[in-house]
Amino acid sequence: MKKTTCCIALLACLAMSSCKKEAQAAEGTEVNTEVTAESTTEENSVTQKLAGVELTDPEGKTITLASLRGSYLYIDIWASWCKPCCMEIPYLEKLVASMADQEKVRFLSISIDHQPEAWHAKLAEEKPSWPQYLVNSTTTDLISETLNFKSIPRFVIIDPEGNVVNDDAKRPSDETLEADLRAL
């Protein structure tokens, strides 16, 4: 019951946020796309905050997100208890297989599960071929705050230098995603 209430609250917040953006667009509110020193500083801050994020693989080895620089990263943020997240797994599996011929984009999944046993069980069931990592609750809070999201699944694209290119990227189930990733 607690998870259901939490999910409903998250969906309500997300819906209100989307509705607010749509209302601004309908009113003709202009969006400033100009790059300023302030926005560049903000981007650098995001890059720095995410660079130190520690990721733990299924064997318990810890790395930082910064150690994965050098390619574009398509990151899947998910949890084993999240049904929409799990519904994207087969699509992500197909995308990873379809893009195996290129080296420009690497795929990884970051679980925000608070129970590592549930995460390990889901990995044993799905047997994903791309790298899987787990983060603790403090890191989950840092990631969601830095990337400004309140719900999962969430997909993020980071460039080879570690800068966030898209903090709300298309889902693997979107048929246009592969072409977008190949165009990076």
Per-residue confidence (pLDDT) for residue 10, from 0 to 100: 38
Mean pLDDT, the chain, as a whole number?
80
SS3 1: coil
Mean pLDDT check: name the lowest of 17-26, 111-120, 122-131. Answer: 17-26
Q: What is the pLDDT of residues 6-57, one digit of tens each?
A: 433 333 333 333 333 333 333 333 333 333 334 444 455 566 778 888 899 9
Residue 170 has pLDDT above 50, yes or no: yes
Query: How far apart are the C-alpha atoms of 112 and 4, rounded to whole Å?
Result: 17
pLDDT, mean of residues 112-133: 96
Taken in order of first residue, the domains within the chain and their CATH numbers are 51-182 (3.40.30.10)
Per-residue confidence (pLDDT) for residue 40, from 0 to 100: 43
pLDDT, mean of residues 108-133: 96
- pLDDT > 70 fraction of the chain, expressed in percent and rounded: 74
Structure tokens that stand for 38 in this block: 């302030």
**Cβ contact 133:57 at 8 Å:** yes
Per-residue confidence (pLDDT) for residue 169, from 0 to 100: 96
Per-residue confidence (pLDDT) for residue 46, from 0 to 100: 66
pTM above 0.85, yes or no: no
Strand partners, 156: 75
**Cβ contact 164:47 at 8 Å:** yes
- pLDDT > 90 fraction of the chain, expressed in percent and rounded: 59
